[in-house]
Amino acid sequence: MIDTEVIENIEIQGKLNLQNIRSFLLNQLDQTDFSSSAEIQRIEMPIEEINIIKWLGQQSINEKIYWSERSGDFEIGGIGQADVITAKQFKNYSESISRINEKLPNDNKFLRYYGGFQFNQNVKTDELWEDFGNYYFILPMFELFRTEDEFYFAANIICESPDNKQEVIDKLIQLFDKLTFNKGYVFPDSNDFLSREDFPNSDGWGEIINSALTSIKNHVVEKVVLARKVILKFYEELNTFSLLNKLKTINPFATHFCFQIKKDLAFLGGTPELLYQRNNGTIYSEAIAGTRPRGKNEFEDSVLERELLDSDKERREHAFVIESVKDSLNILCKELVASKEISVIKLRRLQHLYSKFPGKLKDNVSDIEILSTLHPTPAVGGVPGKEALEQIQSMEPFHRGWYAAPVGWIGYNSAEFAVAIRSGLVNGKNLALYSGGGIVDGSDVNSEWQEIENKIGNFLKALGINGELNGKSQ
């Protein structure tokens, strides 16, 4: 049974203060039934409010994850690894998702595996992305999560045998004792910036854009999304969660994520683009494509919005995405409602053309089929999909890794995946930023370059870097 004093604390105060977590956890562990071999046991407790990103930032444990919904209703920070599902080679989505589904119990909607996939499953992972594998999903050992205004602490435990119960508990508590809960924690000062390098540089960018326009003219593709990689170098190792905290402050209207799988190696970003949400038999997806910056005032902002809505080039780019998402969802759904009018979604620095797709899935449709059908959308790949991927592979002078790939979570009978754009890879003293633009007939080299500068602008602002360096040291 739970200690009476702890129960009274919960009932009177409504939630545990941070100092009581350890005693509650020990009490619950003592009463947990580990007789079911390898079954996930989960302990949850309501706690007082604490900043989740700052909580992650103050931990010395290397493995950390963060996820927050664009709506702002849910966020989670995870520490350590209760379980990891990963592979260097990709066979199909079934391989990874089936392994996750086999382990998920049906009695807790917040028990989830968090992770993602490589963008192009047919390309061998390069050295920079090798530790992420072709896919990588983690069940954190410890979680601090918020649903609306309520905060919780959770522990996930897997015990392979009842005989190992004490060993598992001892390991869990040893890791817990490394955690800190300092509500007054302040991130250290930002690191000094050293240099920037663009892949491709401006001349190389002109060459691949013109090559893409030639392919479009010759009807090889109708649209191809080409990206750039910008490497920022610093004098010291970056503080990943300080950067994430600034990104979220600058642009709260995004799905923010971070997957730090070992010390000083993390993939993070703030994406406006949802791939899909699934809850039982319902699905929700979106089409986002076409871009303009936000205006300096309300009048300028409305002028740019009207310019975006009236642009033939932007509407054609968006139309490719609408038709692709609609066609894909029609395969998956028995009922689909598509937006009749194109609207505009406004972020802190950018605005995009936007369409919504709620639907009801056909019987027994799984995340395996959904991911296989939806990814990659024309917003990050192109049209036709196969030919566009071939163009990307031949033209881009770098490996995309997890950039523009599905990242998210899988729970029992529910899932959510975003498209990992507006993202970067922290690797020690280096930060590789990735962003792309849709190339269609009428695209302009300089405009596409500047669009990507706008898209990486949140990172540059968070780091206090002038966005017009164009490959030169500051």
- What pLDDT was estimated at residue 256? 98
Report the pLDDT averaged over residues 97-115.
Answer: 91
Residue 248 in tokens: 């979220």
With beta carbons less than 8 A apart as the criterion, state whether 250 and 348 touch. yes
Q: Is residue 402 part of a domain?
A: yes
- What pLDDT was estimated at residue 96? 87
Task: Evaluate if residue 322 carries a pLDDT over 50.
Answer: yes
Q: H-type helices in 110-261, by residue range? A: 165-176, 202-217, 240-250
Task: Evaluate if residue 467 carries a pLDDT over 70.
Answer: no
**Environment class of 187 (CB within 10 Å of its CB; exposed 0-12, middle 13-18, buried 19+):** middle
How far apart are alpha carbons 53 and 45 in whole angstroms? 19
With beta carbons less than 8 A apart as the criterion, state whether 187 and 51 touch. no
Task: Give me Rg for the CA atoms of the chain.
Answer: 23
With beta carbons less than 8 A apart as the criterion, state whether 295 and 334 touch. no
Strands 350-361 and 282-293: antiparallel
- What pLDDT was estimated at residue 418? 97
DSSP code for 462: H
Going by pLDDT thresholds of 50, 70 and 90, the confidence category of residue 1 is: very low
Half-sphere exposure of 283 (CA within 13 A, CB side): 33
Q: Is residue 114 part of a domain?
A: no
Q: Is residue 122 part of a domain?
A: no
Task: Evaluate if residue 474 carries a pLDDT over 70.
Answer: no
Total number of domains constituting the chain: 1
Report the pLDDT averaged over residues 200-211.
Answer: 97
Q: Residues 390-438: pLDDT tens digits?
A: 999 999 999 999 999 999 999 999 999 999 999 999 999 999 999 999 9
* Structural domain span for residue 211: 193-254+272-463
Which residues face 419 on adjacent strands?
Answer: 406
Instruction: Residue 398: name the closest of 199, 233, 225 by CA.
Output: 199
Q: Residues 230-249: pLDDT tens digits?
A: 999 999 999 999 999 999 99
- What pLDDT was estimated at residue 13? 52
How far apart are alpha carbons 138 and 62 in whole angstroms? 13
Q: Is residue 344 part of a domain?
A: yes
Q: What helix, strand, coil percent values describe the chain, rounded to 5? A: 35, 30, 35
Q: Is residue 155 part of a domain?
A: no
Q: Which of 267-271, 427-431, 463-467 is predicted with the least confidence, judged by mean pLDDT? A: 463-467
Q: Is residue 8 part of a domain?
A: no
CATH number of the domain that residue 351 is part of: 3.60.120.10
Residue 50 in tokens: 């604490």
Q: H-type helices in 14-73, by residue range? A: 21-31, 52-57
How long is the chain?
Answer: 474
How far apart are alpha carbons 259 and 366 in whole angstroms? 24
Instruction: Residue 233: name the closest of 275, 191, 202, 200 by CA.
Output: 191
Report the pLDDT averaged over residues 21-36.
Answer: 86
Task: Evaluate if residue 466 carries a pLDDT over 80.
Answer: no
Q: Is residue 110 part of a domain?
A: no
37's CB contacts (< 8 A; 6+ apart) are: 159, 160, 161, 162
| Mean pLDDT, the chain, whole residue set | 90
Residue carrying the six token digits 């799905």: 255
Residue 97 in tokens: 């998702």
Q: Is residue 78 part of a domain?
A: no
pTM summary value: 0.91
Longest dimension (CA), the chain: 76
Q: How many CB atoms lie within 10 A of CB 136?
A: 22
